C-alpha cells in the first residue's frame, strides 16, 4: 500500500520494516516525529532519553547486545552525543546501529547552523542522506545493511525540508531480525588505550573498504541529459531543488552515500559534461572533495554557505532565469514569535525584567523571554549552559546578587543537573530558576523524567526536581507559582540576598496541556482605557489596540490575571465584573 508520509514518519516506517528492536532518542526539531511515530509500532521498544548522549549509549548498548538499534536527534544534539559516537566508530557494532541527525539549514528552530557532515568525516563513519520520504524509508534499510556489512554505526542525515515534507511511500511488511549472538569480546568493546590502538587500525581499513563501496553503491546515481552542457552534483534536498529548477535539461550525479564520497564516479561524471555545478547547502564538502582531486567544479562562488537554497535561487544562478513576482507596496509589520497566551513563563520573565536582573538563559520555548517587550534574558548558549555560564559569570565578576539562571524542567534533566552540582561543589552563590511547566514544551509536549510518564504514556516514578537539587547539595529550594508575581519577586529578593546556592522552582503547567483549566477571559472597559499601552508590557498576544483603545481577544485570553494589575485606570476587568 502507498501512503503520503512525512520524511520523519517514513524513517520510523523504515525502522519498523527493517526489524529494528530498540530506539532511544531525545526530542529536537526537526527530528522529533521520528521517535513519536516509532512508538506507534509495538514491535519496536522506544523511549525518550534524558539527553542525546544517553540515547546514543542506550542504542549502542542494544546494538552490542545484538539488536538493530537507532537513535535520533537534531544537529546540535549530535554535539552532546559526540563522545559515545566517536568511540562507537572504534568498537563497531553487533546488531545494525543508526544515528539519525537532522540539520536545520536556515535555523528555523536552532541556535546555530552546523553541518553534520563534518562529524561523519571526523568520526570516520558512513553517512547517508535521503532526498524524499520514500528514500527516508529505504535509506534506513540500506543503512542497517551497511552497518552490519562494515561493522560500523551509520549516520542518517536529514534536514528540516526532508523531515517535514510529505511524499509517497510504499509500505511493506516488517522483516523480523533475530537478535545476533552476543560474544564477549573486550578487545572490541572495551576501549582502553591498548585495545583502542588496535581498533584504530580496523577503522582505517574500514574507511578504505567504504571508499570502494561508495564507487559502486546504488545509493549514488547518475542521470544523463540529452545534451552535455551542464552537470549537477547534489545530495538530499538540494537534488530536489535542482530537479525542479532545471528539469531534465541537465545531468545529475545524486549522492546518497555522502561519506565517504566516491572519486572515480565523480570524475567519470565530470568528464561527460562541459560544466559541473556542486549544489550543497552549508559547507563546501563535496566541492572541496572535487577540487582537491583536480576536478573542476563551480560551487560556493555562486552559492552561499548560509541558510537554505530554493528552486528560484538555483534557476537564477545556473540559468540566469529571473522569477517574476509582484511587490507588495506597503510595509508589513514585523511579527516576532511570542509566548502563548497564558504561558506560565510570562509572569516570571516580566518579574525578572522588572527587577532588572542579569539572566543566563537556556534552550526552550522560554527562550522567547529574550524578545521584547519582556526582554529578560542576557545569554543563551546551548542546552544546560544557563547554570554553568551563570557560575562562570559570577566567578569572574564576584558573587553577584543581581544574576539568575533560567532553565526548563526538561532541559534541567537533559544537562542542567551537572551545572548545578558544579555550583555547589565549587562554592558558587548562584540563584537558579527551574521553569517547570510539567512537559517538554519546546518540541511539542514530549514527556520527560519529571512528568512521570514515558513516551507511550505509561505511568512511572516521577523524578522530583526538589530532591535532585537537595541531592546536589542545594539547601535552599523553594517552589512558587510564576503567575503570582508579587510572591515571586519577594522570594527572588530573599534568595539573591543569600550567599549560598539556591534553586527557585517556578511551577505552573503549560497553558496548552489538555488537562489545564482556564479562567474566563478578561475584557477591556473602553470608557476607562487611556490608551497608555501599559498592558502591552506583559507581551500577551491576546491584547491589541482597536479603535484607539486596548482590546482583549476573548478567544485567546485564558484569564491568567497578569495584565490586570498593569492598568492604573482599572480598565481591565473579569467577565461580569461591575464597572
pLDDT value, residue 11: 98
Specify if 325 maps to a domain: no
Q: Any residues with CB less than 8 A from the CB of 380 and at least 6 apart, and which?
A: 111, 361, 362, 363, 367, 370, 386
pTM of this prediction?
0.93
Q: What is the pLDDT of residues 475-529, one digit of tens each?
A: 999 999 999 999 999 999 999 999 999 999 999 999 999 999 999 999 999 999 9
If asked whether residues 396 and 466 sit together in one domain, one would say: yes
Last residue of a domain, one of 183, 198, 215: 215
SS3 content of the chain, % helix, strand, coil (to 5): 40, 20, 45
Specify if 112 maps to a domain: yes
Q: Is 159 marked within a binding site? A: no
Structural domain count, the chain: 4
Last residue of a domain, one of 172, 188, 215: 215
Cβ pair 160, 102 in contact under 8 A? yes
Q: What is the pLDDT of residues 95-120, one digit of tens each?
A: 999 999 999 999 998 999 999 999 99
If asked whether residues 189 and 232 sit together in one domain, one would say: no
Query: In the numeric block, which cell numbers belong to residue 377?
Result: 534574558
Distance of alpha carbon 306 from alpha carbon 303, whole angstroms = 9
Q: Is 557 marked within a binding site? A: yes
If asked whether residues 96 and 211 sit together in one domain, one would say: yes
- CATH no. for residue 527? 3.30.70.20
Q: What is the pLDDT of residues 401-428, one digit of tens each?
A: 799 999 999 999 999 999 999 999 999 9
Query: In the numeric block, which cell numbers belong to residue 71?
Result: 537513535
pLDDT value, residue 344: 95
Q: Any residues with CB less than 8 A from the CB of 185 and at least 6 apart, and which?
A: none
Which domain range does residue 360 map to?
344-507
- CATH no. for residue 387? 3.40.50.970
Cβ pair 134, 101 in contact under 8 A? no
- CATH no. for residue 224? 3.40.50.920
If asked whether residues 407 and 471 sit together in one domain, one would say: yes
If asked whether residues 204 and 69 sit together in one domain, one would say: yes
If asked whether residues 73 and 183 sit together in one domain, one would say: yes
Give strand ranges (E) for 189-295: 221-223, 230-234, 251-254, 257-259, 275-279
435 SS3 class: strand
Specify if 382 maps to a domain: yes
Last residue of a domain, one of 215, 237, 266: 215
Q: Which one, of 443, 513, 457, lies nearest residue 39 by Cα? A: 457
Q: Which one, of 573, 540, 483, lies nearest residue 341 by Cα? A: 540
By the 10 Å C-beta count (0-12 exposed, 13-18 middle, 19+ buried), 102 is classed as buried
Identify the bridge partners of residue 47 per DSSP, sorted by sequence position: 24
If asked whether residues 204 and 235 sit together in one domain, one would say: no
Specify if 326 maps to a domain: no
If asked whether residues 483 and 531 sit together in one domain, one would say: no
Backbone φ, ψ for residue 165 (5° rounding):
-100, 160
If asked whether residues 271 and 208 sit together in one domain, one would say: no
Specify if 331 maps to a domain: no
Q: Is 207 marked within a binding site? A: no
| Strand pairing report for 403-408 and 431-436 | parallel
Distance of alpha carbon 481 from alpha carbon 462, whole angstroms = 20
Distance of alpha carbon 529 from alpha carbon 573, whole angstroms = 11
**Burial 490-519, CB ≥16 within 10 A → b, else e:** ebbeebbeeebbbbbbbbbebbbeeeeeee
8-state DSSP, 301: T
Q: Is 136 marked within a binding site? A: no
If asked whether residues 496 and 570 sit together in one domain, one would say: no
Q: Is 535 marked within a binding site? A: yes
Q: Which one, of 21, 57, 45, 100, lies nearest residue 189 by Cα? A: 57
If asked whether residues 95 and 184 sit together in one domain, one would say: yes
Residue 530: half-sphere exposure toward Cβ, Cα within 13 Å: 7
pLDDT value, residue 143: 98
Distance of alpha carbon 463 from alpha carbon 1, whole angstroms = 43
Specify if 20 maps to a domain: yes
DSSP string, 1-63: -EEEEEHHHHHHHHHHHTT--EEEE---TTSHHHHHHHTT-TTSEEEE-SSHHHHHHHHHHHH
Identify the bridge partners of residue 98 per DSSP, sorted by sequence position: 70, 154
pLDDT value, residue 277: 98
If asked whether residues 208 and 224 sit together in one domain, one would say: no
- In the chain (579 residues long), the average pLDDT of successive 10-residue segments reads 96 98 97 97 97 97 97 97 98 98 94 96 98 98 98 98 97 97 96 95 98 97 96 98 96 98 98 98 98 97 96 94 82 84 96 96 94 94 96 87 95 97 95 96 94 96 97 98 96 95 97 94 94 94 94 95 94 79
Amino acid at each position: 500500500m502507498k501512503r503520503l508520509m512525512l520524511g520523519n514518519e517514513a524513517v520510523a516506517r523504515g525502522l519498523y520494516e527493517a526489524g529494528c528492536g530498540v530506539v532511544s532518542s531525545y526530542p529536537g526539531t526537526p527530528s522529533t516525529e521520528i521517535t513519536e511515530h516509532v512508538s506507534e509500532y509495538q514491535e519496536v521498544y522506544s523511549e525518550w532519553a534524558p539527553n542525546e548522549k544517553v540515547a546514543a549509549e542506550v542504542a549502542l548498548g542494544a546494538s552490542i547486545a545484538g539488536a538493530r538499534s537507532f537513535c535520533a536527534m537534531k544537529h546540535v544534539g549530535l554535539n552532546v552525543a559526540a563522545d559515545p559516537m566517536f568511540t562507537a566508530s572504534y568498537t563497531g557494532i553487533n546488531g545494525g546501529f543508526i544515528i539519525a541527525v537532522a540539520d536545520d539549514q536556515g535555523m528555523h528552530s536552532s541556535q546555530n547552523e552546523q553541518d553534520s557532515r563534518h562529524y561523519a568525516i571526523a568520526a570516520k563513519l558512513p553517512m547517508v542522506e535521503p532526498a524524499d520520504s520514500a528514500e527516508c524509508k529505504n535509506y534506513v534499510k540500506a543503512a542497517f545493511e551497511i552497518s552490519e556489512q562494515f561493522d560500523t554505526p551509520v549516520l542518517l542525515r536529514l534536514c528540516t525540508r526532508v523531515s517535514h515534507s510529505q511524499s509517497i511511500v510504499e509500505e511493506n511488511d516488517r522483516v523480523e531480525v533475530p537478535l545476533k549472538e552476543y560474544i564477549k569480546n573486550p578487545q572490541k568493546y572495551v576501549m582502553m588505550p591498548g585495545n583502542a590502538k588496535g581498533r584504530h587500525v580496523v577503522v582505517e581499513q574500514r574507511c578504505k573498504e567504504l571508499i570502494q563501496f561508495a564507487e559502486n553503491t546504488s545509493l549514488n546515481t547518475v542521470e544523463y541529459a540529452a545534451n552535455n552542457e551542464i552537470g549537477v552534483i547534489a545530495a538530499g534536498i538540494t537534488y530536489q531543488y535542482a530537479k525542479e529548477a532545471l528539469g531534465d535539461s541537465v545531468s545529475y550525479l545524486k549522492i546518497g552515500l555522502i561519506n565517504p564520497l566516491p572519486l572515480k564516479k565523480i570524475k567519470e561524471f565530470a568528464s561527460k559534461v562541459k560544466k559541473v555545478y556542486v549544489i550543497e547547502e552549508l559547507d563546501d564538502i563535496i566541492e572541496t572533495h572535487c577540487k582537491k582531486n583536480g576536478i573542476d567544479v563551480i560551487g560556493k562562488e555562486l552559492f552561499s554557505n548560509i541558510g537554505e537554497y530554493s528552486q528560484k535561487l538555483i534557476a537564477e544562478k545556473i540559468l540566469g532565469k529571473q522569477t517574476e513576482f509582484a511587490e507588495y507596496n506597503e510595509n508589513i509589520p514585523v511579527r516576532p514569535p511570542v509566548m502563548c497566551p497564558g504561558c506560565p513563563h510570562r509572569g516570571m520573565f516580566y518579574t525578572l525584567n522588572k527587577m532588572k536582573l542579569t539572566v543566563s538563559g537556556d534552550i526552550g520555548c522560554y527562550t522567547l523571554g529574550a524578545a521584547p517587550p519582556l526582554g529578560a534574558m542576557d545569554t543563551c548558549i546551548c542546552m544546560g549552559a544557563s547554570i554553568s555560564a551563570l557560575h562562570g559569570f559570577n566567578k569572574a565578576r564576584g558573587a553577584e546578587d543581581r544574576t539568575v539562571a533560567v532553565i526548563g524542567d526538561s532541559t534541567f534533566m537533559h544537562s542542567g543537573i551537572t551545572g548545578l552540582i558544579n555550583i555547589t561543589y565549587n562554592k558558587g552563590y548562584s540563584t537558579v530558576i527551574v521553569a517547570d511547566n510539567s512537559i517538554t514544551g519546546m518540541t511539542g509536549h514530549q514527556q520527560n523524567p519529571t512528568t512521570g510518564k514515558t513516551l507511550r504514556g505509561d505511568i512511572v516514578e516521577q523524578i522530583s526536581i526538589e530532591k535532585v537539587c537537595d541531592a546536589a547539595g542545594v539547601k535552599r529550594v523553594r517552589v512558587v507559582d510564576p503567575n503570582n508575581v508579587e510572591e515571586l519577586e519577594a522570594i527572588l529578593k530573599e534568595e539573591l540576598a543569600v550567599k549560598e546556592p539556591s534553586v527557585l522552582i517556578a511551577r505552573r503547567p503549560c497553558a496548552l496541556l489538555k488537562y489545564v483549566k482556564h479562567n474566563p477571559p478578561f475584557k477591556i472597559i473602553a470608557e476607562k482605557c487611556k490608551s497608555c499601552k501599559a498592558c502591552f508590557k506583559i507581551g500577551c498576544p491576546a491584547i491589541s489596540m482597536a479603535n484607539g483603545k486596548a482590546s482583549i481577544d476573548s478567544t485567546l485570553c485564558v484569564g491568567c490575571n497578569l495584565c490586570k494589575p498593569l492598568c492604573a485606570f482599572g480598565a481591565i476587568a473579569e467577565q461580569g465584573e461591575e464597572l
